[in-house]
Every structure is written in structure tokens, then in C-alpha cells.
Amino acid sequence: MNLKTLFGKKGAKTIKNAIWREHPITSATLGVCSALAISNKVENALAMSAGVIFVLLLTAVIISTLRMLIPSRVRIIIYMITIAAGVTIVDLALLAFFPTISEAMGPYVPLIITNCMIMGRAEAFFIQNPPKLSLIDALANGFAYMYTLMAIAIVREVFAFGTILGIRVTPANWVDWVVLAAPAGAFFVLGIFLWIVRTWAGVEPPTSS
Amino acid sequence: MIDKIKMIGFVLVFGIFWSTALVAVDTWTSPRIEKYLLEKKQKKVLEALVIPYEKDAVEDVFTTNVTSEEIDGKTIYKAEDGSIAFEFNGAGSQGAMRGVMALSSNLEEIKGLAIIQQSETPGLGSRVLESAYLANFQDKKVVPRLEIVAAGTASADNEVDAITGATLTCVALEKIINENAKEAKALIGQ
């Protein structure tokens, strides 16, 4: 598959950046809070990613279509309204149609509003680029978010519960690593993940002044 | 000036647009959500009263076996054998704990417990709130008070074995049970 023929030169560059060099979680460390909280089980990680991708796409369409009209002084408010409305829709739809998933995710669905990744993409990309390119960017970033969450969730679910998607994959005498189910476990796994990916992608850590 | 009016106008139009959209989504989903929440509560009441039910006939089983009445703003559910159930709220070791508790008709024994919402430590405290463990509370006396004692030492009919590694949740649950049993007695005994 050639990304350039499918999405054009700019689109291909956008995708490559989003899923590797400028990856929202590993490079920009945005959206880390939800990556830590919702990565205890693969099922939850999938549902969370779906929610984030939906809100990201919605924000991309609305912000990039209206980018010439949005007065720059109130643009942050406009992002907030869009994101908050999108999240509320996801929350209500989940509760009405998938109540069990909604329960497992608890307060984290409403917290998509504060997922800095969506706000970050709106400010850094959607406000400056046309809808088509913004949609590509939203999809690529959503995918990057999803695969990271999945990677962490697979490690955590296998070690902490001995299962993947609820199916047992470990031997019968497996002892669960309870620490990985607890929030602290997420820090260990994400930390190691960041270390590997950053070294591999050659991302320089931000220098603090 | 014109800039400011434009700005306010834009935010207003934008806000009205999204408000309308949200109202529409809410009207569309709220009947389903209400039905789900009601059914969930009925399920827990049935579980606490130890009335067996089929997954898709919760409402039927509930209406034929349980009657509810309001006393001082608290809903009391009554089963045919005279046992009663009510919702309880309390503090767990990590956060709020909500569930349904059922007592025998003389209000002295626990009939059953069911948890609606909890946030105990996964794999440790959360084991206390699994139905397999909660079944141990059946027929235990809450008079003078229920005691959750060290694992393997329960002997009297008001004692239940604790789970090792879940001490804080056991302590919290013990407190919730005793307080609520007392409260129910005061409420219904009037």
C-alpha cells in the first residue's frame, strides 16, 4: 500500500507524523491521563479509543469547516463546546445501547472532554487545515492513540488478569500480578513503552528551562 | 465593535446549534437509559431478596413477587414471605458503595446483599463484593450486631469470615451493614 497515492503527499506526511514521529502519546505526551486510566483491559481500551476517535473526527470536521469563521479570540471556547457536546453524545449513546461498557468506563467517558490530545489537535491542526486533511489527521491520531492503548492494555490484561478480551491465555497455575491492574501498574507499563518507542523513533525529550 | 458583535453572535449561534443537538440526542436516548437503570435496580433487589429470575424477564418477576412502599422518603421493597429490602449508601475503603440489602421479616437476619456500585481495589477489596462471598451473609444475625471476623474463625450466627487482604473493605462493609440494619429497624419498627 502506498500512502502517497491514497492520501496525497501532504496526507501521507500527516499520517506518518501522527502515528510515529509526532505520536500524540509518546512524543507529545498528550492524552496520557486516559491512557493510564483505561488501559487495564483490552475491551475497555477499545471502547475508549472508539469514543476518542469519534469525538476527534467530529471536532476535525466542525473546526476545520468553520476555521475561517471562528473568531480567533473565542476559538478555545468553540473547541470546548464542540468536544463537550461530542462527548455527551458518546456518553448517552453508550449508556443507552452498551450499558455494560458504559459502566466499566465509569467517569472516564465524560473525561474525554479533558483529553488534551483532542484539544491539542484542534489547536495545532484542525484550525489551520482544510477538512479533508484534518480528517486524515484525526483518523491517524486516533489510530495512534488506539494502538498505544491496545499495546498497554494487552500487557496489563495478560499479566494482571491472565486473559485477553476475557479469554484465558495463561496456564491454570498463573498468579495474577495485581499491581498491573492498579493505577500504579499503568505508570510502569506506559513508562517502559515511552522509553522503547522514543529511543526507537529518536524523539528527543523536551528540555525544561 | 462590529468584531465583538460578530464574536458574540458566532458563539451564540454555535451554542444554540449544539444545545439543540444535545436535547435531540437526550430525548432519543433517555427512555432506554431510564429503562436500563430501573431494570438494574430491580435486578439487584431480586438478588438481595434471593428471588431467582431469568435475564429477560426481570420486570415480570419483580412485579409479581415484590411490592414497594415509601416510608419517610425511603423505598422499602417487600417480598411475599415478609422479608424486606432497601437501598443503602455508604463509604467503602476507596469511595462510595451503593447496593441493596435484604432483611428477614423480623429484621434480625440478613436475607441477602447485592452491590450496585463500588470502587474498591480491583482483585483485593473487590472480592468482598462478589456474589459468591456475599452469599456467606445469608441468615446471619444483625442483632446485636454483625461481626466480620478474621478468616476461618467465624462460629457464632452473627459472624462471617473476612477475606485476607481485603481488611479495609470488610471493615467498611461491616459498618454499612450494621448502620443500615439499625436504621431500617428504626424506620419500620415505628
B102 grid coordinates? 435484604
Q: How do residues A76-113 score in pLDDT, each as one tens digit?
A: 889 999 999 999 998 898 888 888 878 777 777 887 88
The angle formed by the CA atoms of residues A24, A65 and A60, to the nearest 5 degrees, is 20
Best A39, A55, A81 residue to mutate vs chain B (most B CBs within 10 Å): A81
Residue of A nearest to B19 (CA): A85
- How much is the mean pLDDT over chain B? 85
Least confident segment among A70-84, A111-125, A193-207, B151-165? A193-207
In the chain, the amino acid numbered A131 is P
Alpha carbon of B8: minimum distance to chain A alpha carbons (Å):
9
Q: Is A107 on the interface with B (CB under 8 A)?
A: no
Assess contact for B166 and B128: CB atoms under 8 A.
yes
* Residue B68 C-alpha from the chain's centroid: 16
User: What angle in degrees, to the nearest 10, is found between the helix axes of A3-16 and A131-161?
Assistant: 70
Least confident segment among A63-72, A169-178, B27-36? A169-178
**pLDDT category, A205, cuts 50, 70, 90?**
low
Q: How do residues B145-166 score in pLDDT, each as one tens digit?
A: 888 888 777 777 888 888 888 8
Q: Which residue has the higher pLDDT, A98 or B20?
A: B20
Q: Which of B22, B36, B123 sits opposite A85 (nearest CB)?
A: B22
B70-88 mean pLDDT: 83
Quickly tell me which residue has 510515529 as its cell: A20
User: Residue B190 above 60 pLDDT?
Assistant: no
Identify the pLDDT of residue A208: 58
Q: Determine, for residues A89 and B21 on separate chains, whether the beta-carbon distance falls below 8 Å.
A: yes
Could you tell me if the ipTM is greater than 0.85? no
Residue of A nearest to B119 (CA): A106
Q: Is A64 on the interface with B (CB under 8 A)?
A: no
**pLDDT category, A29, cuts 50, 70, 90?**
confident
Cβ contacts of A117 within 8 Å, gap of 6 or more? A24, A25, A28, A30, A31, A52, A56, A141, A145
Q: Which of B33, B122, B124 sits opposite A95 (nearest CB)?
A: B33
Give CA–CA dist B129/B115, Å, rounded.
Answer: 7
User: Residue A207 above 80 pLDDT?
Assistant: no
pTM beyond 0.95: the answer is no
